[in-house]
Amino acid sequence: MSNITIAPVIVNSLAKTSTERKMDVLQFAGSAVIQAHVNDKGAIGKACRESFANGGLIGIARAASNANYLPLAQHMYLTTGKPVVIGSRNGYLAITDTIDAMILAETSKKNGGFREDKNGLQVPTASHAALLKLRSDVVDIQAEAEAIFQARKQAKADALAIEAKQLANEQQA
């Protein structure tokens, strides 16, 4: 039986306020810690929820980089409540156009997709704001997916170049 000893762990911050100290520690916290504090109130809970959401978008992008569009379609459905079909890469690339059409339909309503807040300012309606956020999310997801795909493509090219160089060296020897 092995005896595992873990050295003492010290977590500390030199920030002035309690919230600043917690945020300082949160920057370096793992996903399990962030997940555990998602339901907290205040700045810590908000930061955890935002971090958790960003991790979800990166997960959707990773899936999309492998031509798995199901998570993206589910994200779109949960935001809009409307059926989503992504049948091919072209359909995936045209999603922003589909969302733009939804935004246009929202702005062509009687209120123009805006409402007046308590200060008299024009702000987007809830459905209009949700579509604008969805479009922003999809653009970010597509950019991240493309970056992941290009990095994978470059890694394969580098591996092939190394292999070709090794074969050439073996043939010379």
Alpha helices in 37-125 (DSSP H): 42-65, 70-80, 89-93, 95-107
pLDDT at position 16 over 60: yes
Nearest to 35 by CA among 21, 60, 55, 20: 55
pTM exceeds 0.85: no
Whether the pLDDT of residue 127 is over 70: the answer is yes
- What's the pLDDT score for residue 138? 95
Q: pLDDT digits over 133-146, tens only?
A: 999 999 999 999 99
The pLDDT value recorded for residue 5 is 57
- Quick one: pLDDT at residue 64? 92
Burial class of residue 161 in the structure, from the number of CB atoms within 10 Å of its CB (0-12 exposed, 13-18 middle, 19+ buried): exposed
Task: Please list, residue by residue across 6-37, b when 16 or more beta carbons sit within 10 angstroms of its beta carbon and e when fewer do.
Answer: eeeeeeeeeeeeeeeebeeebeebeeeebeeb
Average pLDDT of span 60-70: 92
Record the tokens describing residue 6, joined without a space.
């873990």
